[in-house]
Structure 1
Amino acid sequence: MENERQRGNPPGLTNNYVAQNVRKVRQSIGMDLRSLSEKLTEAGRKLSVSGVSKIELGDRRVDVDDLTAIAYALGTTPAALLAPPEGDTAFTGVPTGHTTEEVQAWLGGDAALTQAGLVAYWQQQAQDAQFEIEAAKLKLESLSGQGAAADLFRPHYEERIERFRARLQESNLRLLELDPAARPFSES
């Protein structure tokens, strides 16, 4: 039995996500393999029908130039093609333990998957929740004494306050998981 030499690392989870997402997006817009191949060639990134098919099957790795060109040709974003299936947070080479929201924030460029990056992200989420609570409270106060018409809007702002209170609590809990010494945010 002869040993076959393998060059580089084998395709991992992220490659599988890209393969699935390329196929899903292409099919959702009704584009066939040939049309995608032609669009890529027009964009200056020649990729045969066979090459596109191999990408979708996970048999061909996607480099960053392919990824950006395919995203452009499909009318989507590179981040959308990299995204894991709903609820999955694992990526090749990335430690597990991140929430779906954290992974989405990372893919969107809103947070680094480091302790400092995630602490900053959740601090910002808590501050945003505080702001929304205060804004809704002020609106409720302005409705006071405005009559029956204002009563129509009151439940909306009360629900908004409760929703952002829950968001503030969620943000504080995750913040304290990441950094037990962090100062939790409170409603003013």
Structure 2
Amino acid sequence: MKDILVLYYSRYGATRELALALAHGIDSVPGMQSRVRTVAPVSTVCESTQPDIPAEGPPYVELRDLEECAGLALGSPTRFGNMAAALKYFLDGTTPQWLSGALAGKPACVFTSTGSLHGGQESTLLSMMLPLLHHGMLIVGIPYTESTLSTTQSGGTPYGASHFARSGSAQQGLSADEKTLAIALGMRLARTAAQLDERP
């Protein structure tokens, strides 16, 4: 089995829901399995630290998770049209993996959640691609052959899966379209990783 890393930061749970839908899509592809990880929040107090193991949810990501993965799904809530600081902080520490080319040639995708429909979903997705491109990753999105992309009245973009959270709460959950597109993106990422793994 090859691992696809689903790495995300979630404040209220909506981005986590998307991550789990992507993981479901990944797990449905033969020979592939999801490895769900999160990042610790960034504290405004310099001396503050997080415990090594989160109180709930998946474990915190380690650099070896990046090195061992066959592909990467990267997710964050939108913060003024950009990824959250906690995820950016982790990515800023991946210089050794960049220097070694640990992620070069591996497929990747991105996903996000916003509190408003036009709250920067697409700019967040595009900005999240930048460090992945620097790492030499191959970006996959959602093609319009996924018919739901043309009919969704909630989240979903060709750049990646997205969720319109409205109040910033995950209580309403993903819409049927958002879940369908997130699963489809997870499947596409896993299939791409499998095809790349078959290269001579």
Question: Based on CA coordinates, which of the two structures has the bigger radius of gyration?
Answer: 1
Q: TM-score, normalised by structure 1?
A: 0.20
Which structure shows the higher helix fraction? Answer: 1
